[in-house]
């Protein structure tokens, strides 16, 4: 009987298991369906709400564009949808749908455009985008400070996500990404932007109207009732995903936007009629240009005669194989040669042997491999202690002194830390084209930038043809300590200068209004400190050759002058040089925290920093040594100009100065501390060597 009952039990259990399996399948199907619906709902919400802020890469000129013409812009911030992630600076492209120019039959002009292709991490994606709003202004852009990318001391995963939410629906108002730098119109006037922008709004350009998504093929139409118009490159556009709404709804939204814009203009015009004129601006004071004790003001390049330095010894460079090449056109000094004191008894002279270069392709761009000879010389006996040849990648700077007999040298695809005997201590790989190396004054923090190309060759060539220059690229930034331990990663663009490091963070310059600048220090623990506010007709250039001080180069336009200042970390000046129109390439360096060497290159006629020049345009280079305590000049020499950017070096003890010029190295003994307070007669100024 027991054996007959067993099959019945198993049949019952099998039926139960089948029912459980069926119920589980139904339950899983329901969960997957609900998850899919939720995901689709979320995707629709993300896709419809996220604005994309872009800068035009080429002007939108009604008089020059035709139907079908390609238009290009770059993303200002990171932007993501469910299917696409864009880095800041990625290319967004579109086309002109329709053009109506000013003519006898049409007093006005219009341009209908649609953006339809975005670069999703190097992969083009078709995403139709309407022009939602326009800021017809030139707005300086600043990247996020390095410290904001993650905890300093541990490698970061990357920058924060950008973008912002908006209201639901196709054409709701959107919040704007607020930049630290101000927006200014083409005429230089500040432009105040609201926190939320409505559809169809145009800022910074009168008589320009925008109808969002009402044109042919659903494009947005820019129009002017007073003839042809031009929207300059650099103008900002706010783009939104092309909505799927009825034509009646589109017309109602555009009409509402026009009514709102018209009422705003009427209110502003009435207010301007009734309000009194603003009082005249108060005279502005630049506190970095006010010398307080202890401080030194140089009235001219030849005043403030330095103490006697004695007779220089001359070291010929031809026996080493150095032959200067000086017949090209330049817009900055080059890196053909360099002088560096490893210590008081070892002077390193490196130079390009100008042998046949080997070129290789790295993405769209190409780089060269050149041979650099490194020679260690005794600065007293002139005896050669060691000579070796390096293979250096690229034509940029390849050597950075770290102090205490240490060097950073870019050899091939690596960055090498070397000792005073040119032996490698450790190295890290450099993946790609090296764009910069930035050091803190104490040499403990090292920022390295490598090129990260955004575009394939076809897109690169299209952009270069439209903007008539090399397209903007990304630069991957890594910050290391002096043991090459990675501290954090971030990125910036090739249009921004390399980061300037202090011992505790990063120094940055931002625009507060036209020709007004603010110097800030962003510390690694994410604190911000204002160092100084100043006036300059050009964006100031800053370096940190010393701890707790800044070397600052700016300019005036009336008259044209390129000046420099040395500031303490509290913004008060140590040294002021008003400069002249014939000074370019001001630079400073120091191997001794008590003294600072400054080089100024003089030209035979007026030039601004960045202008092109030839070797024969350069008259001389003046190197002066100043006391850091009060800016007093201890020594000065004027010699023939060199095209080498690293043409001078101060010994670690401050007792010797080396200067490279025209195939010779001049070695000057520095005055002792006992006679630095004396003011010698003008005849003691070292004369220009023949």
- The closest alpha carbon to 597, from 656, 517, 554, 662, belongs to 656
Residue 302: is its pLDDT beyond 80? no
User: How far lies 575's CA from each of 409, 580, 634, 671, in Å?
Assistant: 32, 16, 13, 20
Residue 221: is its pLDDT beyond 90? yes
Q: What is the pLDDT of residues 81-125, one digit of tens each?
A: 888 888 888 889 999 999 999 888 888 999 999 999 998 887 889
This prediction has a pTM of 0.73
Pick the residue with more confidence: 355 or 267? 355
Pick the residue with more confidence: 51 or 378? 378
Q: What is the pLDDT of residues 140-153, one digit of tens each?
A: 556 678 877 655 65
For the chain, percent of residues with pLDDT exceeding 70: 75
Q: What is the pLDDT of residues 332-383, one digit of tens each?
A: 899 999 999 999 999 999 999 988 887 777 677 778 899 999 999 999 999 9
Residue 326: is its pLDDT beyond 90? no
136 vs 138: CA distance, rounded Å: 7
Q: Transcribe 550-580 into DSSP letters.
A: EEEEEEEETTEEEEEEEEETTS-EEEEEEEE
Name the residue ranges covered by the structural domains of the chain: 49-138+185-270, 292-684
Alpha-carbon 198 to chain mean position: 31
Task: Identify the sign of the CA torsion 9, 10, 15, 19.
Answer: positive
Place of tokens 């080498």: 644
- Cα dihedral value 131, 132, 137, 139, nearest 10: -100
555 vs 44: CA distance, rounded Å: 51
Q: What is the pLDDT of residues 555-606, one digit of tens each?
A: 987 777 889 999 999 999 999 999 888 888 888 888 767 899 999 999 988 8
pLDDT band at 272 (very low <50, low <70, confident <90, very high): very low
Q: What is the pLDDT of residues 174-209, one digit of tens each?
A: 665 544 455 556 555 666 777 788 899 998 888 899
Q: What is the mean pLDDT of the chain?
A: 80
Task: Please give the pLDDT value at position 6.
Answer: 47
659 vs 339: CA distance, rounded Å: 8
- Domain 292-684 homologous superfamily, CATH: YVTN repeat-like/Quinoprotein amine dehydrogenase (2.130.10.10)
159: left (phi over 0), alpha (psi -120 to 50) or beta: beta
């Amino acid at each position: 009987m027991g054996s007959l009952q067993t099959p019945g039990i198993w049949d019952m259990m099998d039926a139960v298991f089948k029912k459980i399996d069926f119920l589980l399948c139904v339950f899983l199907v329901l969960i997957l369906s609900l998850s899919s619906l939720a995901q689709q709902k979320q995707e629709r919400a993300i896709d419809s709400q996220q604005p994309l802020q872009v800068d035009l890469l080429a002007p939108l000129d009604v008089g020059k564009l035709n139907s079908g013409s390609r238009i290009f812009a770059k993303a200002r911030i990171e932007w993501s949808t469910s299917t696409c992630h864009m880095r800041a600076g990625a290319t967004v492209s579109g086309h002109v749908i329709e053009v109506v120019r000013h003519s006898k039959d049409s007093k006005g002009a219009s341009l209908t455009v649609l953006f339809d292709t975005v670069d999703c991490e190097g992969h083009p994606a078709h995403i139709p985008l309407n022009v939602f709003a326009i800021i017809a202004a030139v707005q300086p852009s600043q990247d996020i400070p390095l410290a904001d990318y993650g905890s300093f001391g541990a490698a970061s995963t990357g920058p924060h996500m950008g973008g912002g939410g908006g209201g639901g629906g196709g054409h709701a108002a959107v919040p704007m990404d607020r930049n630290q730098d101000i927006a200014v119109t083409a005429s230089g006037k500040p432009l105040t932007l609201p926190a939320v922008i409505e559809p169809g709004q145009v800022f910074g350009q009168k008589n320009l109207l925008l109808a969002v998504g009402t044109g042919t093929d659903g494009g947005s139409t820019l129009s002017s009732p007073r003839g042809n118009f031009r929207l300059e490159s650099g103008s900002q556009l706010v783009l939104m995903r092309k909505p799927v709404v009825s034509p009646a709804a589109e017309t109602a939204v555009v009409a509402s936007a026009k009514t709102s814009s018209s009422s705003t203009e009427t209110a502003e015009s009435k207010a301007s009629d009734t309000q009194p004129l603003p009082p005249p601006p108060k005279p502005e004071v630049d506190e970095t240009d006010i010398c307080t004790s202890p401080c030194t003001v140089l009235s001219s390049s030849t005043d403030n005669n330095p103490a006697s330095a004695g007779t220089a010894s001359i070291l010929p460079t031809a026996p080493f194989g150095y032959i200067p090449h000086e017949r090209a056109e330049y817009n900055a000094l080059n890196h053909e040669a360099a002088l560096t004191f490893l210590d008081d008894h070892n002077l390193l002279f490196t130079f390009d042997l100008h042998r046949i270069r080997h070129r290789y392709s790295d993405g769209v761009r190409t780089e060269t491999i050149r041979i650099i000879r490194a020679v260690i010389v005794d600065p007293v006996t002139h005896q050669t202690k060691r000579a070796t040849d390096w293979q250096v990648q690229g034509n940029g700077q390849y050597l950075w002194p770290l102090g205490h007999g240490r060097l950073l040298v870019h050899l091939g695809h690596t960055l090498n830390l070397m000792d005073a005997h040119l032996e490698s201590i450790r190295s890290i790989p450099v993946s790609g084209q090296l764009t910069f190396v930035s050091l803190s004054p104490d040499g403990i923090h090292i920022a390295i930038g490598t090129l990260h190309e955004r575009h394939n060759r076809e897109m690169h060539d299209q952009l270069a043809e439209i903007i008539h220059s090399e397209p903007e690229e990304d630069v991957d930034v890594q910050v290391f300590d002096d043991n090459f331990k990675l501290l954090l990663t971030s990125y910036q663009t090739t249009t921004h200068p390399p980061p300037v490091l202090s011992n505790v963070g990063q120094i940055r310059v931002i625009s507060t209004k036209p020709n007004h600048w603010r110097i800030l220090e962003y510390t690694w623990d994410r604190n911000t400190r204002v160092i100084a506010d100043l006036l300059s007709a050009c964006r100031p250039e800053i370096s940190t050759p010393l701890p707790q001080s800044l070397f600052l180069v700016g300019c005036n336009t009336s008259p044209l002058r390129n000046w420099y200042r040395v500031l303490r970390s509290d913004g008060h000046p140590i040294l002021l040089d008003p400069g002249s129109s014939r000074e370019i390439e001001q630079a400073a360096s120091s191997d001794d925290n008590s003294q600072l060497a400054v080089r100024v290159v003089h030209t035979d006629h007026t030039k601004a920093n960045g202008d092109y020049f030839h070797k024969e345009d350069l008259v001389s280079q003046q190197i002066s040594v100043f006391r850091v305590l009060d800016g007093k000049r201890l020594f000065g020499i004027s010699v023939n100009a060199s095209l080498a950017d690293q043409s001078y070096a101060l010994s670690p003890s401050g007792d010797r100065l080396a200067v490279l010029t025209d195939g010779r190295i001049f070695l000057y003994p520095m005055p002792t501390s006992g006679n630095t307070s004396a003011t010698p007669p003008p005849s003691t100024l070292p004369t220009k060597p023949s």
